[in-house]
Amino acid sequence: MSSDVPAATFGACPLPFPAGDRILIGHGSGGLLTARLVEELLVPAFRNPALERLDDAAVLAVDGGARIALTTDSYVVTPIFFPGGDIGELAVNGTVNDLAVSGARPIALSLAFILEEGLPMEDLRRVVESARAAAARVGVPIVTGDTKVVGRGSGDQIFVNTSGVGIVPAGVELSSTRVRPGDAILLSGEIGEHGVAILACREGLELEGDLSSDTAPLHELAAALLAAAPGAHAMRDPTRGGLASVLVEIATRRRVGIDIDERAIPVSEVVRGACELLGLDPMLVANEGKLCAFVPEAEAEAALAAMRAHPLGRHAARIGRVTEARAAEVVLRTSVGGHRIVDLPFAEPLPRIC
Amino acid sequence: MSSDVPAATFGACPLPFPAGDRILIGHGSGGLLTARLVEELLVPAFRNPALERLDDAAVLAVDGGARIALTTDSYVVTPIFFPGGDIGELAVNGTVNDLAVSGARPIALSLAFILEEGLPMEDLRRVVESARAAAARVGVPIVTGDTKVVGRGSGDQIFVNTSGVGIVPAGVELSSTRVRPGDAILLSGEIGEHGVAILACREGLELEGDLSSDTAPLHELAAALLAAAPGAHAMRDPTRGGLASVLVEIATRRRVGIDIDERAIPVSEVVRGACELLGLDPMLVANEGKLCAFVPEAEAEAALAAMRAHPLGRHAARIGRVTEARAAEVVLRTSVGGHRIVDLPFAEPLPRIC
């Protein structure tokens, strides 16, 4: 960025900001560079109330009193086929999840491909088939689409954009702007599976245990949670940037403290082992089928029970709470009895993870 | 495509089908290869009523009786800055236009970037600023977005996806399924400007006269036409594949004949000259700010007058009519008194035009 850009308004940046004047891989990381790009360039340019909430989907009132949610994501994951899924399934589930955590019932998706010349038609067929199957599982139609082709070396096999529209039921008001001190923080299951599966696959690592992406649609789990805890304040699905990104973003943007008990965060043995081997922090590793909820204490136990009753929430846990103290900080109480401040990574531990 | 794919169901394919089993540049052309990919792979996979209409936007009923339109397009135009616009303005106008020709009032857009590592930040700023300005002109907010970054050589500067949601007013029913024999075919202005401007810019051609993209938002023109001709059957904005693609798609899919008077099609001198020089047919060249309408004869003159009263429709013309005879064919009555059948090009005269 040029030198007349204002100093970081997002999180702490302990280093001089070396982005220079070009886009870096880290600008797509879900870390600090992404946050700065969003908050210093994109939000100021397009400023409007729906956008400024920076939730996973924008909620809009339409004629007749209904509210719709709109969300978009492009998928550039490499490889396009990985243990537990592929880019087609990921694109459908990811956009369904952005609607689900906004409290919306998905009603329609769009699907847009940017294909690289020379892509085997069979690969496209497989991706289309798994997008179809994923949409059918959720019961959401893909109603419109687009296909572009770029020359060899101007793309990379398949990029997918899915946008989604959902209906927000009357009375549902989920937004990170509603997170309050005293909220319990619930997490639906074990973190880091998607990121570690992609990395292992990409690097040809042989890891002990069964390792695959957790890509899954969260619409039923979100609906079950909302039925049990209608006063829930916010939900997020931690993807690139991991659980840490969700927590730091909410703490920073909403000026609340977040207090997390590290021992309470579910992490499978295989992911823990892989992260130790690779030098990764599971809290920074991407998920594609996990839900993090901010729920008033009075409804926390009901919400947790509802999550645990669903197959995608059977490892659900209460991992911490929102505090008044230490506003804008995420404090992790570590398993050895100390504590540390969780920061966003400056840039990308794992590029092109989704 | 593999040999067990059924024979072409779309248009005539005079050649053995050489697509093989890989994606070709032509699959993104808006020509016959694109149509086959859509009709043989994508529509069968995702089959549902909204998709099968194959209009520029899908129309969905939501709670409360409102109808919304959803559309998506990815933009991969090269160069990203060109005479008359850039990829940011194009992405906003193009998606606004897909809503407008569906009779919808745009209410929200999404904006998703896939950036190539190393992109000058200043280029991104320029594109963001022109997307902002284009959205402000239309008065439609950009409410949600996404940014991904891919490594050098895995993308090409900037790809943009815009999806859009609009409200379809009560009583408006625009769809190519409603096109009927007897409909007048109206065109809002001179064709081929976008494609020729991109090509001239890309090839460094010096052409006589002022040549720039016609990128423009058509929402006001479409609304004016609908106010004057509330019984209009369908509207399209001819983009890649040109006017010919729109006409051939409607004739083929709706099993109607289309009779066009070549002399009535507005083409500027500079585009005509450039097309002669380059060996292009202006009917196959992309537009980004033209509207083609199918209107019952009784409302045709009122519709034409309304178009001509708008700055973007001042060269509007009646170019032909829908017939019962010669179902599924587009017949062009040429300026020398003969006639010829208009076919889709097999593949791409101009790749990455939008």
**Which chain B residue shows the shortest CA-CA distance from A22?**
B120
Number of Cβ pairs < 8 A linking chain A and chain B:
285
Supply the pLDDT for residue B4. 32
Distance from the B46 Cα atom to the nearest Cα atom in chain A, whole angstroms: 6
For helices B297-308 and B219-228, the axis angle rounded to 10 degrees is 140
Residues of B in contact with A60 (CB under 8 A): 107-108, 143, 165
Where residue B278 falls among pLDDT bands split at 50, 70, 90? confident
Q: Is the pLDDT of residue B301 over 90?
A: yes
Q: Name, in order, each residue with C-beta under 8 angstroms of B201's C-beta and a sequence gap of 6 or more.
A: B79, B82, B83
Contact call for B156 and A159, based on CB within 8 A:
no
DSSP secondary structure letter of residue A239: -
More confident residue, B68 or B203: B68
What does residue B206 show for φ and ψ, rounded to 5 degrees?
-95, 115
Supply the pLDDT for residue B7. 31
Per-residue pLDDT of chain A (354 residues; tens, 9 = 90+): 333 333 333 333 333 344 569 999 999 988 889 999 999 999 999 999 999 999 999 999 987 788 999 999 999 999 999 999 999 999 999 999 999 999 999 999 999 999 999 999 999 999 999 999 999 999 999 999 999 999 999 999 999 999 999 999 999 999 999 999 999 999 999 999 999 999 999 888 877 778 899 999 999 999 999 999 999 999 999 999 999 999 999 999 999 999 999 999 999 999 999 999 888 999 999 999 999 999 999 999 999 999 999 999 999 999 999 999 999 999 999 988 999 999 987 776 678 999
Cα–Cα distances (Å) from A329 to A333, B294, B328, in that order, read 13, 60, 65
Q: What are B250-275's pLDDT values in tens digits?
A: 999 999 999 999 999 999 999 999 99
Residues of B in contact with A24 (CB under 8 A): 117, 149
- State the distance between the two ends of chain B, measured CA to CA, in whole angstroms: 25
Contact call for A144 and B71, based on CB within 8 A:
yes
Would you tell me which residues 58-87 of chain B have a C-beta closer than 8 angstroms to some C-beta of chain A?
58, 60, 62-66, 68, 70-76, 78
**Proportion of chain B above pLDDT 90, given as a percent:** 84
Supply the pLDDT for residue B8. 32
Nearest by CB: B25 against A124, A151, A165: A151
Mean pLDDT check: name the lowest of A248-252, A264-268, B196-200, B344-348.
B344-348
Cα–Cα distances (Å) from A179 to A64, A139, A162, A303, A321, in that order, read 29, 30, 28, 16, 10
Nearest by CB: A147 against B21, B28, B119: B28
Asked if A133 is an interface residue toward chain B (Cβ–Cβ < 8 A), one would say no
Residue type, B11: G
Asked if B36 is an interface residue toward chain A (Cβ–Cβ < 8 A), one would say no
Contact call for B163 and A2, based on CB within 8 A:
no
Number of other residues whose CB lies within 10 A of the CB of residue B99: 30
Supply the pLDDT for residue A13. 37
Contact call for A25 and B149, based on CB within 8 A:
yes
Q: From CA B354, how far away is CA B94, in angstroms rounded?
A: 9
Q: What are B16-68's pLDDT values in tens digits?
A: 344 569 999 999 988 889 999 999 999 999 999 999 999 999 999 987 788 99
| Helix count and strand count (H, E) for chain A | 10, 14
> What ipTM was assigned to the predicted interfaces of this complex?
0.93
Contact B243, B283 (CB under 8 A): yes
Contact call for B165 and A68, based on CB within 8 A:
yes
Residues of B in contact with A28 (CB under 8 A): 115, 147-150
Q: What are B143-179's pLDDT values in tens digits?
A: 999 999 999 999 999 999 999 999 999 999 999 999 9
Nearest by CB: B145 against A19, A42, A65: A42
Residue type, A258: I
pTM recorded for the entire structure: 0.93
Q: What are B178-192's pLDDT values in tens digits?
A: 999 999 999 999 999
Q: From CA B102, how far away is CA A65, in angstroms rounded?
A: 22
